[in-house]
Amino acid sequence: MLLWITFFVVGLTVHVVFFLSIFDIYFTSPLVHGMTPMTTPLAPPASRLVLIVADGLRADSFFTLLPNGSSTAPYLRAIIEERGTWGVSHTRVPTESRPGHVALIAGFYEDVSSVARGWKENPVEFDSVFNESRHTWCWGSPDILAMFAKGASGDHVYTHAYPAEEQDFASTDASRLDSWVFTQVKSLFQSAKSNSTLMASLLQDQNVFFLHLLGIDTNGHAHRPMSQEYQNNIGLVDSGVAELVSVIEDFFGYDGRTAFVFTSDHGMTNWGSHGAGHPSETLTPLVAWGAGVQTPHKVTGDQFYQDGYLQDWKLEHLRRVDLNQADIAPLMASLIGVPIPVNSVGVLPVLYLNNSDLFKAECMYTNAIQILEQFKMKKKQKKETTLSCVNLGLVYYHTYDRFSLGCSVVLGFVGWTSYVVLVILKTHTSLNMHPDILKQVCLNPIRNTHYVSELHG
Ligand SMILES: [Zn+2]
Ligand SMILES: [Zn+2]
């Protein structure tokens, strides 16, 4: 019985240690701090950037044409055909809103240690394109906006979110969340006409406008991506973007200095979920156009991609440029000339840039140096940790026998003290004794014990 109890306790302990080791080994922050932000020394092509994220929009729902040959997003389809560059942005698991936005805007794949905090807070401070911008105006869900406002140093990231509890106002029609965002953006530009401070800020360069559109995701969860509600919401976003572009271009006097990026944080499965690594969840659309962005590139031959999507989407004739989700961060930073976020691991997708070879080369160099800075910092930290371990080892061996030697010395001293006490006692006791009696006691202590008791008595 005792054997089985011991076996059970040892088995349980071993499994608990194995379980905790996973957190200790894998759930650590990949981020390092203390790097210098890197900027390209050349003038950027755009003064401002508009980032539109259609939450939960999967690539095939966006690119596939309807049975009648029309598109669910006719305005953005026309952009792909006539004005911009397009591709598939490959996201990583977990395909959730927070890690998706962190990859897009900060350029790294979410810090896994934040799982323990439910992705609500920033467990580790990180840099982002918003933080590096001069001003960023954001509209959308409070869950997403809060983490970038909180992570930004200073007060140059302005958030306009509907209260979390009021997300229910769209319970009957989630696309109203998106209409709310478009209305708010338009009213900002409208109010700038009577607000000189706001007007001055808007006219500066290195500004970002971020629209987070949650309607498609909410409709996908509620009605699934094949539903009419999901499809209609894509149409609503498309017409909203068309109107937004005309409002912005009109506001800035058609100066041709605005860059636009339209994408999604993750996709969605046919049954209305996301989080895992199915292609319906990891493949998201990307369309970029405007200042500094490459115009459509006609292709006559075969393209590099063998996945069949080009044929399915009827886009074989236009160059497709796929990228990893985190690559969008250095692209946005290069377009408006702000430093690439210091923790970014994104690689600049050069084919999206419409600029001189010198500019592209400088941007690639900045990108390489910026990633190298992280490598150097990580190496330095590891070196310091290793050196401190080596120093600890040196101290350990230097003081290896100090304890046993100390014990020996203490024991020796105790022995010596005892000997001294004994000698003193012996000497003092012999002073009160008659030498003959003492002699007899010493010669035959057992036989003569009564003499001793007599003496003491
Ligand atoms: Zn999302
Ligand atoms: Zn969702």
- CATH value at residue 125: 3.40.720.10
Q: How confident is the model at residue 429 (pLDDT cuts 50, 70, 90)?
A: confident
Q: Do residue 309 and residue 262 come from a single domain?
A: yes
Q: Do residue 374 and residue 413 come from a single domain?
A: no
Residue 399 falls inside a structural domain: no
Please tell me the distance between residue 370's alpha carbon and the centre of ligand 1 in angstroms: 28
pLDDT at 51 over 80: yes
pLDDT of res. 118: 54
Least confident of 49-58, 146-155, 270-279: 146-155
Mean pLDDT value across residues 84-101: 95
**With pLDDT > 70 as the criterion, what percentage of the chain qualifies?**
88
Q: Do residue 311 and residue 437 come from a single domain?
A: no
Q: Do residue 343 and residue 422 come from a single domain?
A: no
Q: Do residue 450 and residue 331 come from a single domain?
A: no
Please tell me the distance between residue 246's alpha carbon and the centre of ligand 2 in angstroms: 29
Please tell me the distance between residue 268's alpha carbon and the centre of ligand 2 in angstroms: 8
**Chain mean pLDDT for the chain:** 89
Least confident of 110-124, 334-348, 441-455: 441-455
pLDDT at 1 over 90: no
Residue 89 falls inside a structural domain: yes
Please tell me the distance between residue 213's alpha carbon and the centre of ligand 1 in angstroms: 9
Q: Do residue 451 and residue 306 come from a single domain?
A: no
- Judge if ipTM > 0.85: yes
Please tell me the distance between residue 269's alpha carbon and the centre of ligand 1 in angstroms: 13
Please tell me the distance between residue 219's alpha carbon and the centre of ligand 2 in angstroms: 9
Please tell me the distance between residue 16's alpha carbon and the centre of ligand 1 in angstroms: 34
Q: How confident is the model at residue 166 (pLDDT cuts 50, 70, 90)?
A: low
pLDDT of res. 393: 86
Please tell me the distance between residue 75's alpha carbon and the centre of ligand 2 in angstroms: 25
pLDDT of res. 441: 52
The pLDDT tens digits for 347-388 are 999 999 999 999 999 999 999 999 999 999 999 988 988 888
Q: Do residue 296 and residue 263 come from a single domain?
A: yes
Q: Do residue 39 and residue 141 come from a single domain?
A: yes
Please tell me the distance between residue 92's alpha carbon and the centre of ligand 2 in angstroms: 15
pLDDT of res. 399: 87
Domain boundary among 335, 350, 383: 383
Q: Do residue 325 and residue 440 come from a single domain?
A: no
- Per the structure, the count of domains in the chain is 2
Q: Kindly identify the ligand whose nearest atom is closest to the C-alpha of 55.
A: 1
Residue 391 falls inside a structural domain: no
Ligand 2 is an ion; its neighbours by CB within 5 Å are 56, 217
Q: Kindly identify the ligand whose nearest atom is closest to the C-alpha of 99.
A: 1
Q: How confident is the model at residue 451 (pLDDT cuts 50, 70, 90)?
A: very low
Residue 13 falls inside a structural domain: no
pLDDT of res. 456: 52
Q: Do residue 443 and residue 374 come from a single domain?
A: no
Q: Kindly identify the ligand whose nearest atom is closest to the C-alpha of 273.
A: 2
Q: Kindly identify the ligand whose nearest atom is closest to the C-alpha of 264.
A: 1
pLDDT at 452 over 50: no
Q: Kindly identify the ligand whose nearest atom is closest to the C-alpha of 97.
A: 1
For the chain, give the secondary structure using H, E and C.
Answer: CHHHHHHHHHHHHHHHHHHHHHHHHCCCCCCCCCCCCCCCCCCCCCCEEEEEEECCCCHHHHHCCCCCCCCCCHHHHHHHHHCCEEEEEECCCCCCHHHHHHHHHHCCCCCHHHHHHCCCCCCCCCCCHHHHCCEEEEEECHHHHHHHHHHCCCCCEEEEECCHHHHHHHCCCCHHHHHHHHHHHHHHHHHHCCCHHHHHHHCCCCEEEEEEECHHHHHHHHHCCCCHHHHHHHHHHHHHHHHHHHHHHHHCCCCCCEEEEEECCCCCCCCCCCCCCCHHHHEEEEEEEECCECCCCECCCCCCCCCCHHHHCCCCCECECCEEHHHHHHHHHHHHCCCCCCCCCCCCCHHHECCCHHHHHHHHHHHHHHHHHHHHHHHHHHHHHHHHHHHHHHHHHHCCCHHHHHHHHHHHHHHHHHHHHHHHHHHHHHHCCCHHHHHHHHHCCCCCHHHHHHHHC
- Cα–Cα distances in angstroms (integers) from residue 49 to residues 39, 40, 119, 138, 207, in the given order: 17, 17, 27, 12, 6
Mean pLDDT value across residues 19-32: 75
Q: How confident is the model at residue 79 (pLDDT cuts 50, 70, 90)?
A: very high
Q: How confident is the model at residue 439 (pLDDT cuts 50, 70, 90)?
A: low
Q: Kindly identify the ligand whose nearest atom is closest to the C-alpha of 95.
A: 1
pLDDT of res. 23: 72
Residue 324 falls inside a structural domain: yes
Q: How confident is the model at residue 457 (pLDDT cuts 50, 70, 90)?
A: very low
Please tell me the distance between residue 385's alpha carbon and the centre of ligand 2 in angstroms: 41
Please tell me the distance between residue 167's alpha carbon and the centre of ligand 1 in angstroms: 14
The pLDDT tens digits for 305-332 are 989 999 999 999 999 999 999 999 999 9
pLDDT of res. 146: 85
Q: Do residue 362 and residue 218 come from a single domain?
A: yes
Q: Kindly identify the ligand whose nearest atom is closest to the C-alpha of 57.
A: 1
Q: How confident is the model at residue 214 (pLDDT cuts 50, 70, 90)?
A: very high
Q: Do residue 308 and residue 428 come from a single domain?
A: no
Q: Kindly identify the ligand whose nearest atom is closest to the C-alpha of 213.
A: 1
Please tell me the distance between residue 132's alpha carbon and the centre of ligand 2 in angstroms: 28
* Token reading at 272: 């209305």
Please tell me the distance between residue 108's alpha carbon and the centre of ligand 1 in angstroms: 17
Please tell me the distance between residue 313's alpha carbon and the centre of ligand 2 in angstroms: 24
Q: Kindly identify the ligand whose nearest atom is closest to the C-alpha of 274.
A: 2
Please tell me the distance between residue 64's alpha carbon and the centre of ligand 2 in angstroms: 21
Please tell me the distance between residue 289's alpha carbon and the centre of ligand 1 in angstroms: 23
Residue 18 falls inside a structural domain: no
Please tell me the distance between residue 144's alpha carbon and the centre of ligand 1 in angstroms: 9
Residue 178 falls inside a structural domain: yes
pLDDT of res. 440: 58
The pLDDT tens digits for 110-145 are 766 665 555 555 556 789 999 999 999 999 999 888
Least confident of 54-63, 402-411, 431-440: 431-440
Q: Name the residue range of residue 98's domain.
A: 27-383
Please tell me the distance between residue 215's alpha carbon and the centre of ligand 2 in angstroms: 10
Residue 4 falls inside a structural domain: no
Please tell me the distance between residue 315's alpha carbon and the centre of ligand 1 in angstroms: 26
Please tell me the distance between residue 291's alpha carbon and the centre of ligand 2 in angstroms: 31
Please tell me the distance between residue 326's alpha carbon and the centre of ligand 1 in angstroms: 15
Please tell me the distance between residue 275's alpha carbon and the centre of ligand 1 in angstroms: 9
Please tell me the distance between residue 169's alpha carbon and the centre of ligand 1 in angstroms: 19
